[in-house]
Amino acid sequence: MLGSCRPKTNRVPHPESTGEIAGAGGASIMSAVADRAIVKKERLCDVVGRDPYRVNNKHDDKYNPFPPSKIVQWAEELVGQEFCYSLTSNNCEHFVNKLRYGVSRSDQVRDALTAATISGVGLIALSAGVMFSRNKKQHQ
């Protein structure tokens, strides 16, 4: 499903960091430290590089998607605009979900927060177990 890189086709609007970190595009880990982004329109292959990509309309069963013509129109209107970027509340996934469904959400952020919470609870339980074990040994 990979698109070809023809000069005038397969161009997609996408947010990209405007931070001072050269090459910190929306897909870059360095974009995590950026606080501003600008919507650019570039060839899909230039945006994704060698990374695999696919169409992911995973929330179509939960939300009614806007018609493709409207999504494209709104995306085109955003090209050149700068906005606040936040890895946790206004990232690339929020951007595309807002365009498609009118709902700003990021499952990546939700999943990361869930994993962090589970890890934190696990560490607390482990610490409590170690402390209980030490306490028990001291009383023997």
Q: Is the dihedral of CA 18, 19, 24, 27 positive or negative?
A: negative
* More confident call, 46 vs 102: 102
pLDDT band at 115 (very low <50, low <70, confident <90, very high): low
The confidence score (pLDDT) of residue 23 equals 47
Q: Please tell me whether the overall predicted TM-score, pTM, comes out greater than 0.85 for this model.
A: no
Q: Over the chain, what is the mean pLDDT? A: 75
pLDDT (0 to 100) of residue 82: 92
Q: Which residues pair with 14 in a beta bridge?
A: 40
Q: What's the confidence (pLDDT) of residue 52?
A: 85
Q: How confident is the model at residue 30 (pLDDT cuts 50, 70, 90)?
A: very low
Q: Give me the pLDDT at residue 24, please.
A: 46
Closest residue by Cα to residue 43 from 89, 79, 71, 10: 10
